[in-house]
Structure formats: C-alpha cells, structure tokens
A and B are shown apart, each in its own frame.
Chain A
C-alpha cells in the first residue's frame, strides 16, 4: 500500500468495520430466505408447464421427487429419461425407489408421502403414464404435477 501513497497526499481514513457484522448477517439471512436446498443435481432439462390452479406442497420432508425430461448431456440423445435421486433410472426401478423413500420416513409420515412429478412440458405422455402405473402398483397414490404459477389474467 505504501508505495501508492503520494508524498504529502491526504491520509485516507480507515473504513469503519463496526457494522460489518450487520451487513454480513443481512446477506446471510437474505440468502437463507431466497434459496431452497437442492437435494439432487438435475441430470435432465426441466421446464415445467404453467398452470393457474396450483396448490402448494405443504411439507417438504414428505415429498419425494421424480424428474422426467430430456438428458442435459447431449451424448445421451433426446429421448426423455427418468431421474431418481442422482442418477438416470428406468420405469422398472420406480417401485424400489418408492419403497426406499417410505423406508426413510417414520411410520406415521408414510401415509402422507406425496410424489411430485417434475416433468418437462415437451415430454410425451407415454413415459408419464408408465410412471403413474408404477406408482399405482407401489400404492403411492398421492401425486402432484409440478407446475409453475401463472396468473389468471395472463391466460
């Protein structure tokens, strides 16, 4: 620092660091509020469809997610794929996934488990129907089609 100092220049007063903690806390709170904890990294591209009649998912801990969309990795082609947890999966592994999700919750919560289908708007219904059939076989009847909110007057 000293070598930039001009001879005879006015001394710059030091920055008051007394309120630094306030600012840092403010940022901390701000980011705590706006961010949601992402449990898995997405391997598929998902642009959810828009809808007006949406309901909020009440308890996050009681929701398990199934992602369906085109793979982000272009080498895997453009066919829609299913993602469970952190890897690509097939329709056949959904029942095991639901069982594992049930197992990780306590007994009281198991009945309230909701499956949220995060599906890209361009996906064909065939794969979605297959997933729904598997969910029925696994007795996971409560489902939620994830959509983004669209205001009524914009329709």
Chain B
C-alpha cells in the first residue's frame, strides 16, 4: 500500500506544476523633470504604434492587423536592407559579441484611455515577441543556441544589450474619453 501511495505521490509531483504568477515584465520610465526639454529623435528611428479606443491599430499612419505587427516591428528593428527610411544603426563594442550594429529604433506606443486592457496586452505581447525572436536569431547565429537556452551570463547580457527592448510609452493624454 505504501508503495502505491508513493507511486501516486511521485506521479502527481511530476505531472502537476506549481502555479506561479507570470506575465509580461516592463520597466516604467522615471517621471520627467519639469525642466526637461523634449528630446529630438530622428523621424526614421521611431515606429509609431497607436491603439485607439475601438482597439484598432495604426502603425506609421497606416491601419494594420495585429497579426502583421510582429513582422513590421522585426523589419523595423533589424532594418535588413539598410534602408534610408528605417532606423539608423550604431556600431557598438559589446563584451562577448565584439563590434556589432545596434539599431537606434524606438517603438513609440500610444493608447487611448478607452482602449481595452486585453488589446493593449496583445500589442505589448507582439512587441515582446518581435524582440524575443530577434534575440533568438542573433543568439543562434553567434552562440548556436536560442536566447532562452543561453546559460552564460555574459552572453545573454550581450544579446540583451545588442537588442534592447526599446519601447517608449507616450506620456498619457486625456483624449477620447471613456
């Protein structure tokens, strides 16, 4: 009997997972000091993403589907053809990777007060997915394993530096209402 109960115990231990809290982690920017002047960022370096109160997406002035967002962000951040209307790259020296071109692209996310939280999270999720995929690609190219499987701390830090999460959320404005 004891054997059977131990068998069951191990079975449940192996099949059930501890219910941990999970989610999308973000870092909020500190409050801007009142004296701060607006920072000038070149137009080509900004991808404007707008979510309106009906949860529709507007990227660079064009309405797009949420499914296209990831690819749009990926091409924006990686700028494969070094096009002039896509973000500039800056050659940086990163420990573990050497000299590498880091995109100066910033995603500017703006939502309405009436946007639903579900839609907002979907957009955040797609943006994160785009960054994660780019990191995976770079990691595979440089170290041969996906980013999530990188055990070396220096290597994963280098990848994080080479492809930063460049999402800027605009200062909230009161538009659109409830």
A52 adjacent to chain B (CB < 8 Å): yes
B16's nearest neighbour on chain A, judged by CB, is: A34
- Given A49-B118, A57-B22, is A141 in contact with B13 using a C-beta cutoff of 8 Å? no
User: B113 to A147, Cβ gap below 8 A?
Assistant: no
> Contacting chain A: which of B89-97, B122-130, B137-145?
B122-130
Q: Is the CB of B116 within 8 A of A125?
A: yes
Please measure, in the bound complex, the distance between the C-alpha atom of A75 and the C-alpha atom of B131, giving whole angstroms.
44
Which residues of chain A are within 8 angstroms of B120 by Cβ–Cβ distance? 125, 128
B31 near A22 with CB under 8 A, answer no
Q: Contact at A126–B113, with CB atoms within 8 Å?
A: yes
Kindly count the residue-residue contacts between A and B in the assembled complex, taking CB atoms under 8 Å apart. 147
- A102–B79 Cα distance when bound, in Å, is 43
Q: Provide the residues of chain B in CB contact with A121, threshold 8 Å.
A: 116-118, 121
- Tell me whether A22 and B23 are in contact (CB under 8 A): no
CA distance A25 to B129 in the complex (A): 43
Instruction: Verify A49–B16 contact, CB threshold 8 A.
Output: no
Give chain B's interface residues, CB within 8 Å of chain A.
1-2, 5-6, 8-9, 12-13, 16, 18-31, 111-118, 120-122, 124-125, 128-129, 132, 172, 178
Q: In the complex the two chains form, is A146's CB within 8 Å of B21's CB?
A: yes
Size of chain A's interface in residues, with CB distance under 8 A? Answer: 53
In this assembly, does A137 line the interface, its C-beta being within 8 Å of a C-beta of chain B?
yes
A120 to B119, CA, bound (A): 11
List A contacts of B124 (CB < 8 A).
Answer: 51, 145
Other-chain residue from A52, A116, A126, A137 in contact with B21 (beta carbon distance below 8 A): A116
A19–B2 alpha-carbon span in the complex (Å): 6
- Distance in angstroms between the alpha carbons of A52 and B22 in the assembled complex: 11
Q: Is the CB of B26 within 8 A of A52?
A: no
A139 to B8, CA, bound (A): 48
Within the complex, what minimum Cβ distance (angstroms) separates A100 from chain B?
19
Expressed in whole angstroms, the Cα–Cα distance for A18 and B4 within the complex equals 13
Q: A125-B112, A129-B172 are in contact. Are A23 and B24 (CB under 8 A)?
A: no
Q: Does A109 reach chain B (CB closer than 8 Å)? A: no
Contact flag A56-B22 (CB < 8 Å), given A124-B178, A135-B28, A145-B124: yes
In the complex, residue of chain A having the shortest beta-carbon distance to the beta carbon of B51: A125
B59 to chain A, nearest CB (A): 18
Q: Find out whether the CB atom of B117 lies under 8 angstroms from the CB atom of A146.
A: no
Q: Which of A88-132 contact B (CB under 8 A)?
A: 114, 116-117, 119-126, 128-129, 132
Q: Produce 1/0 per residue, A41-83, CB < 8 A to B.
A: 0000000110111111100100100000000000000000000
| Chain A residue nearest in CB terms to B131 | A53
When the two chains form the complex, which single residue of B2, B21, B28, B178 contacts A63, counting CB atoms closer than 8 Å?
B21
Contact B27 A141 (CB under 8 A): yes
